[in-house]
Amino acid sequence: MKRYLPLIILAILAVLPVIGLSTYMMHILILVIMWSVIGMSWNLLGGYCGQVSFGHAAYFGVGAYTAGVLYSKFDLSPWWGLPLCVVVVALFSLVLGFIVLRLRGPFFALATLASGEVMRITAENWVDFTGGTMGILIQRRTWVEKTWYFYIILIIAALTFFMIKKLVESKLGYYFVAIREDQDAAESLGINTTLYKTIALCISGVITGIAGAFYTNYMGYIDPHVVFALHDISIITIMIVMVGGVATFWGPYVGALIMVLLAEYIRSIPGLGAAHQTFFGILLIVIIIFLPNGIVGDFQKLKRLVGLRRASG
């Protein structure tokens, strides 16, 4: 049963548009799936390989701008951005990895954070190429309905899920975990840590980039403040994985579901909408102190906590 669970969930999701959900519901679903793709990619690098990145907005934005620039400068369909950004983001990750992978732990985290900011400032100032703060507007979106967008992101998510599952269960995945647990020990056992960290960074970056290219197609408008946002992209990515569960298969999905619904819910409360980052911040602090491995990772602990409350109440 457990083996077929991903397939069952995939099948259920695939028939959802047929039963006729409202456009708003479809929008939420698409966002949840898109964020879980980004969460999965972060989880590969951060959760399994132990390299906590604060700059996934850099890859997301580069992917988004690959699609956007193809449209605005070369007059091609922005859908070409999806295959092309694999190459662009892989090259970008290689260059970035050369610099940031020299660092460890918190320093790596901060260097990636800086890389995201550099990309934002570059996109803002390089007006000839990116359109600066004006952003890029896709004049005609491919479809008005959301059904096809939903299926495309669902296929991307399914492929990502199976690829990461295969990867983590392969020899490569064990190398990643070894690097996370003790980089020096891994090195002394003959694992080329630099190589494998670069591989993890490239795969993670490319998947995030594809999600970014999809975002351009789906939203039809990008600007540097949206796609290279520190809090709204990089930190939310981390929160999704932290809330859901670090180094678990299902964590990013649970996290994305909770975060997207929570964000929508808080925004809908009048007077509190502007405070959503306060709630996110408090949620992050609470999760780190009480459930450091996330909801999926600390599920037993969570069950015990809830059980205790029930017993005492």
Partner 1 sequence: MTSVQIEVFLQTLIAGLLLGGLYALIGLGMTLIMGVMKIINLAHGELMMVAMYIAYWMFVLFHIDPYLSIFIATPILFLIGIALQKFLINPVLKVESILPENQVILTVGIGMVLANLATLFFKSDYRSTPVDYATNAFYLSDFWKTSPIELSLSVPWTVSFVFAVIITISLWFFLAKTDTGKSIRATAQDTDAALLMGVNVKLMRVVTFGIGAGLVGAAGCLFLPIYYLFPSLGGQFTLIAFVITILGGLGSTIGAIIGGLILGVFESMTATYVGMGWAPVGRFVIFVVCLIFLPGGVASILKRKRLGK
Which sign does the torsion angle of CA 57, 260, 248, 305 carry?
A: positive
Pair 214, 153: CB distance under 8 Å: yes
Q: Is 117 in the site for partner 1 (CB under 8 A)?
A: yes
Q: Is 189 in the site for partner 1 (CB under 8 A)?
A: no
Q: Least CB distance from residue 7 to partner 1, whole Å?
A: 28
Q: Is 292 in the site for partner 1 (CB under 8 A)?
A: yes
Q: Is 113 in the site for partner 1 (CB under 8 A)?
A: yes
Q: Is 200 in the site for partner 1 (CB under 8 A)?
A: no
CA 287 to centroid of chain Cα atoms: 19
Establish how many alpha carbons lie within 13 A of residue 138's alpha carbon, considering only the half-sphere containing its beta carbon. 27
Alpha helices in the chain (DSSP H): 5-15, 23-42, 56-74, 81-100, 105-125, 127-130, 147-169, 171-181, 183-188, 193-219, 224-227, 236-244, 251-268, 276-290, 294-297, 299-312
* Binding-site member from 289, 300, 311, 312 for partner 1 (CB under 8 A): 289
Pair 291, 301: CB distance under 8 Å: yes
Q: Least CB distance from residue 217 to partner 1, whole Å?
A: 29
Q: Is 275 in the site for partner 1 (CB under 8 A)?
A: yes
Which of the ranges 1-9, 64-72, 202-210, 231-239 carries the binding residues for partner 1, by CB under 8 A? Answer: 231-239
3-class DSSP state of 95: helix
Q: Is 83 in the site for partner 1 (CB under 8 A)?
A: no
Report the C-alpha gap between 61 and 92 in whole angstroms. Answer: 11
Pair 156, 211: CB distance under 8 Å: yes
* Binding-site member from 124, 187, 232, 264 for partner 1 (CB under 8 A): 124
Q: Is 110 in the site for partner 1 (CB under 8 A)?
A: yes
Instruction: Please say which residue, 217 or 298, places its beta carbon nearer to partner 1.
Output: 298
- Please report, as a single letter, which amino acid is at residue 22: S
Q: Is 305 in the site for partner 1 (CB under 8 A)?
A: no
Q: Least CB distance from residue 219 to partner 1, whole Å?
A: 23
Report the C-alpha gap between 27 and 208 in whole angstroms. Answer: 19
Residues near partner 1, by CB under 8 A:
46-47, 50, 52, 54, 99, 102-103, 105-107, 109-111, 113-115, 117-118, 121-122, 124-125, 180, 230-231, 235, 238, 242, 246-247, 274-278, 280-282, 284-285, 288-289, 292-293, 297
